[in-house]
Structure 1
Amino acid sequence: MERLWSKSFILMTIGMFCLFVSFYMLYPTLPLFIKEIGGNESQVGLVMGVFMLSAVIIRPFVGWLLDRFGSRQFLIFGLLCFGTAMYLYNWIGGIFVLMVLRAFHGITWGFSTTSFLTGITDLIPTTRRGEGLGWAGMAMTLAMAIGPMFGLWLAQNFSYYSLFLYACGLAVVALCLTIGAKIPEKPRESTGKIQLFERSVLPISISVFFLFIAYGGITTFIPLFADSINVNSGTFFLVYAVTIILVRPIAGKLSDRYSEVIVIIPSLVVTILALIILSFSTNVLGMLISAVIYGIGFGSSQPALQAATIRLVSPNRTGIANASFSTATDLGIGLGAIILGWVSQYASYQVLFTVSAMSVVFSMLLFTLYTRRLKKDNENHSLIRNAN
């Protein structure tokens, strides 16, 4: 069996964990910071949205650059700029300047994350891609659990200056770890033409988009829902994170051994079940059961979908494929928060989580239809080759 746990893979995975902790430290704290400098609710949404929009716009260009020139130099550039942006928050005194900084910060996020995913993909043996991406995905999930709690603790017990300084420091740590890793610069072929999206992975990207609409609803509204039933939302995310730690290595190995389809479709069914249970939850027990089931479903499907995305393209197209995958996730999270926020204004949390479950149903149906079509196309190609 080919080696997965090389020194470079470990350094890159820890580095990505540090980067994502830095990012998630701002998730619950930046809206409070915006209010403190005089912003209102609509400006909070605008400032948060500018970041995501900038990342979505820049990712396809980053993917093209990675396929043409390699990932290492753009990863270092992205991390340098990301850390600089974090430090510059300390000098913000108004909403307009903050919006400009958020746009710049979103661009650095697009560079950093797309380069990280491509660099790690190049380090993983092809036969262990599902397992390797599962571990990398776990680093991002752990960051989602730790980052918000750490950020709130710093802001509440120290200051926003300390918050931004620590976030900047984590970006520097990620940069140092990346410099210490040896990322293979695999031969790339390019016509020189910028392609903003990888067409061959479009069906899977649409499926990912609908899956992450529900994820956007979970990350945004679980704290509010938990508060409405007098439950600590941190309990949900802690149980969810622990579940993913346990399930992702197993799901990754199953994906490598039997195929991504064997993992993805059952995982999406489990995710739907988790959201339905959550919609009927009225106490901590219901939330914990939902957290475990959601961790199993989403934690298994996300890395398998990414592995399937990479498998559909040639090695010289992994950059644009990762950019397409990340664009689908960012759009899903951003639009999911906006759409489900509108739902929450006119309906109950039960309806909100039911709508989230329906979004995953669309994701499963689209992926199932695509895999059937892909299987049929492969069978037709085999018949043509045999006839010839």
Structure 2
Amino acid sequence: MQPSSNPVSDSLPNNSNRSYRLWLFCICAGMLVYFTQVTALFPVLPLYVTQRWHNAPVGFVVGALAAGLLFFRPPIGWLIDRWGRKPVLLTGLGIMLAILPLYLWSPNPFWLMGVRVLHGISQAAFATASQTMLIDLVPPVRRTAMLGYLAMCNTIGYSLGPLLGSLVFAQAGFIAVVFLLAGSILVSFALSLPLPWLKVSRSKQSIEKQSENSFPWKVIVRFPVRDATLLFSIGSFLHGGVVTFLPLFVSNSALFYSLNALVAVLVRFGLGRWGNRVSQRWVVSIAIFCSGTALIGLSIAPNLLIVWSLVYGLGFGSLFPVLSAIVSLAAPTAVRGRVYSIFLAGFDSGMTLGGAGVQPLVQMLPLSTLFLILGGIGWAVSLIAFRQFAQPIVVSQATEGK
């Protein structure tokens, strides 16, 4: 599989298979390192904010990152198509490195909320540009597989980060955590240097005109991008409910998170090996069905926590790689950054609604009933997904430069 088979770039040089593999390794390793440093703050930041300002609004400070992700993904997608993938990727790393001292120098919690918004912008820029570049480089037949590997690296980062952050914070304090984050960003910079400077082909005037200014709504609001984005948002909505409220429902929620992450890694590794051989229709419907089943199981028999964590990891772990591959096939190369930014914004909005949006229900319903409702939503959506993704997914001609 040679990179020259992908005509995404007019200026991409003729490279050996070794260069192609190096690019894919750098993207996956960079994602692992970046999300390790992002999640290192998860268990640490609330403690730091509380220790420094006592009655500070911890939830708003921590959640401000989501605002940066949610509101800035679309303009970042525009920049990815306008500037190119690598410049936006490096810009995201540069923003992160620049704001790290502000975690220590912020005079009040509201200032720190602004820092967290910038952190979200950095994450949106780096993650969206990295994943768009991977899609550019990988032929369609291998996209589900490679996106499975990329998602696996992401999940490993999410598993390692909290453990590493907690350990460093307990041993040396928050300043040491900031230095840990800075070192991780420098490693990500080093991994980004070998990546190619891809430029989108401008051979078709209609695509060029569309890519200059507006969002490609004709692509976004039609099948399969529309359906994949909505399904990803609903899956993230269920996940947001689990992340936010499970610790209030069971005492050993850490075991659920650890096993869920482990299963997600294994599932995504499996998709990396055999994802192109499995029907996408079956994967997406079974994935959301498994997530719903796990939530219903938690509401009825929380003592079987290990079983439900395994089932949930099977579902949520397989959802993103397959949906991402579906979107990549339908998105023309010239507007792929913007299409992909909207798709990823589905995750941001789903996570936000699953936390803050469900909060009013917590005041009225027992948590067991809440999880039962969320699981029922998962079951219903799985049936809709099975029906919708029976439609043939037509590969955009502009996507592959035909």
Matching residue of 1:20 = 35
Moved more, 153-162 or 137-146: 153-162
User: How far has the Cα of 1:331 moved from its partner?
Assistant: 0.8
The reply on whether 1:242 has 2:256 as its aligned counterpart is no
The reply on whether 1:356 has 2:378 as its aligned counterpart is no
Alignment-mate amino acid for residue 288 of structure 1:
I
Q: Is the 8 A contact 1:203 1:366 kept in 2?
A: no
User: How far has the Cα of 1:349 moved from its partner?
Assistant: 2.7
User: How far has the Cα of 1:252 moved from its partner?
Assistant: 4.6
User: How far has the Cα of 1:366 moved from its partner?
Assistant: 4.3
Q: Is the 8 A contact 2:128 2:341 kept in 1?
A: yes
Determine the C-alpha separation between the residues in 2 that align with 1:36 and 1:149.
20
User: How far has the Cα of 1:17 moved from its partner?
Assistant: 0.8
- For the residue of structure 1 that corresponds to 2:250, the secondary structure is helix
Matching residue of 1:342 = 360
- For the residue of structure 2 that corresponds to 1:28, the secondary structure is coil
Moved more, 129-138 or 331-340: 331-340
Determine the C-alpha separation between the residues in 1 that align with 2:360 and 2:208.
43
Matching residue of 1:291 = 309
Determine the C-alpha separation between the residues in 1 that align with 2:379 and 2:312.
14
Matching residue of 1:11 = 26
* Cα distance, 1:324–1:362 mapped onto 2, change above 3 Å: farther
- For the residue of structure 1 that corresponds to 2:42, the secondary structure is coil
Q: Is the 8 A contact 1:78 1:112 kept in 2?
A: yes
Matching residue of 2:398 = none
Q: Is the 8 A contact 2:93 2:126 kept in 1?
A: yes
The reply on whether 1:199 has 2:245 as its aligned counterpart is no
- For the residue of structure 1 that corresponds to 2:358, the secondary structure is helix
Matching residue of 2:195 = 181
Determine the C-alpha separation between the residues in 2 that align with 1:68 and 1:123.
18
User: How far has the Cα of 1:350 moved from its partner?
Assistant: 1.4
> Any idea what the Cα deviations from partners look like across 1:336-363, whole Å, max 9, x if unmatched?
1113333334333312322331342354
User: How far has the Cα of 1:165 moved from its partner?
Assistant: 1.8
User: How far has the Cα of 1:255 moved from its partner?
Assistant: 3.9
For these two proteins, the number of residue pairs brought into alignment is 369
Identical-residue share of aligned pairs (%): 26
- For the residue of structure 2 that corresponds to 1:27, the secondary structure is coil
Determine the C-alpha separation between the residues in 2 that align with 1:239 and 1:371.
29
Determine the C-alpha separation between the residues in 1 that align with 2:80 and 2:134.
13
Q: Is the 8 A contact 1:130 1:253 kept in 2?
A: no
Q: Is the 8 A contact 2:84 2:197 kept in 1?
A: no
> Any idea what the Cα deviations from partners look like across 1:216-241, whole Å, max 9, x if unmatched?
122223333332xxx3x332222222
The reply on whether 1:313 has 2:331 as its aligned counterpart is yes
Matching residue of 1:333 = 351
**1:209-248 matches, cutoff 5 A:** 209-227=233-251, 231=252, 233-248=253-268
User: How far has the Cα of 1:326 moved from its partner?
Assistant: 1.1
Alignment-mate amino acid for residue 45 of structure 1:
G
**1:1-388 matches, cutoff 5 A:** 6-38=21-53, 40=55, 43-182=57-196, 184-187=198-201, 189-191=207-209, 192-195=212-215, 198-200=220-222, 201-227=225-251, 231=252, 233-283=253-303, 286-372=304-390, 374-375=391-392
Matching residue of 2:14 = none
Q: Is the 8 A contact 1:80 1:172 kept in 2?
A: no
Determine the C-alpha separation between the residues in 1 that align with 2:63 and 2:262.
29
> Any idea what the Cα deviations from partners look like across 1:279-313, whole Å, max 9, x if unmatched?
23443xx1111111111111112211111111222
Determine the C-alpha separation between the residues in 1 that align with 2:339 and 2:380.
22
User: TM-score normalized by structure 1?
Assistant: 0.87
Moved more, 298-307 or 272-281: 272-281
Q: Is the 8 A contact 2:144 2:325 kept in 1?
A: yes
Q: Is the 8 A contact 2:295 2:308 kept in 1?
A: yes
- For the residue of structure 1 that corresponds to 2:62, the secondary structure is helix
* Cα distance, 1:190–1:48 mapped onto 2, change above 3 Å: farther
Alignment-mate amino acid for residue 224 of structure 1:
L
Determine the C-alpha separation between the residues in 2 that align with 1:86 and 1:125.
37
Q: Return 5+ residue gaps in structure 2 as ranges.
A: 3-16, 395-402
- For the residue of structure 1 that corresponds to 2:215, the secondary structure is coil
Q: Is the 8 A contact 2:285 2:383 kept in 1?
A: no
Alignment-mate amino acid for residue 199 of structure 1:
V
Determine the C-alpha separation between the residues in 2 that align with 1:25 and 1:223.
19
- For the residue of structure 2 that corresponds to 1:37, the secondary structure is helix
* Aligned-CA RMSD value: 2.4
User: How far has the Cα of 1:50 moved from its partner?
Assistant: 2.6
Q: Is the 8 A contact 1:8 1:181 kept in 2?
A: yes
User: How far has the Cα of 1:73 moved from its partner?
Assistant: 0.7
